[in-house]
C-alpha cells in the first residue's frame, strides 16, 4: 500500500481519487461482508459480454466471412462488429479462410 501511495503522491488529482476509492472500499467492507469480492472499478459501468459467442450470432459470423471474401478489410470488419482485428482473424482462421 505504501508503494502505491508513493507512486500517486506526486499527482494530487490521482491521490484524491485513490483516497476516495480506498474510503469507498473500506466502507463497503465494513457494511456488508456477505456480498463477497467485488471490483471497485466496475461500479457504475454496464456489464460487458467478453466472449465473442455472447456478442456475435452465427449469422453475424457468416456475414463477416462473406464480407471478408468479397474484399472488406479486417480492420473495417473489426470496427463494424465491435471486436478486435485479432478476433476477426481467429474467426476467419476457424472457418479455414485464407488470410493474406
pLDDT tens digits, one per residue of 33-85: 555 555 555 555 555 667 887 888 999 999 999 999 999 999 999 999 999 99
38 and 59: one domain?
no
Closest among 78, 100, 98 to 87, alpha carbons compared? 78
- 100 lies in some domain: no
- 10 lies in some domain: yes
What is the number of structural domains in the chain?
2
- Residue 9 pLDDT greater than 80, yes or no: no
- 11 lies in some domain: yes
Between CA 37 and CA 90 the distance in angstroms is: 33
Task: Please write down the HEC assignment for all residues of 44-80.
Answer: CCCCCCCCHHHHCCHHHHHHHHHHHHCCCCHHHHHHH
- 99 lies in some domain: no
56 and 31: one domain?
no
Domain, as residue range, for 28? 2-42
DSSP character at residue 42: G
- 17 lies in some domain: yes
Neighbours of 88 (CB within 10 A): 24
Between CA 83 and CA 60 the distance in angstroms is: 12
For cell 469480492, the residue is: 37
- Indicate whether this model's pTM tops 0.75: no
38 and 56: one domain?
no
- 6 lies in some domain: yes
Amino acid at each position: 500500500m505504501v508503494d502505491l501511495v508513493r507512486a500517486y503522491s506526486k499527482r494530487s488529482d490521482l491521490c484524491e481519487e485513490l483516497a476516495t476509492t480506498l474510503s469507498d472500499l473500506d466502507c463497503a467492507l465494513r457494511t456488508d461482508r456477505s456480498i463477497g469480492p467485488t471490483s471497485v472499478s466496475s461500479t457504475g459501468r454496464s456489464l460487458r459480454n467478453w466472449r465473442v459467442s455472447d456478442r456475435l450470432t452465427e449469422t453475424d459470423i457468416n456475414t463477416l466471412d462473406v464480407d471478408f471474401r468479397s474484399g472488406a478489410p479486417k480492420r473495417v470488419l473489426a470496427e463494424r462488429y465491435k471486436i478486435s482485428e485479432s478476433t476477426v482473424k481467429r474467426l476467419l482462421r476457424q472457418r479455414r479462410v485464407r488470410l493474406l
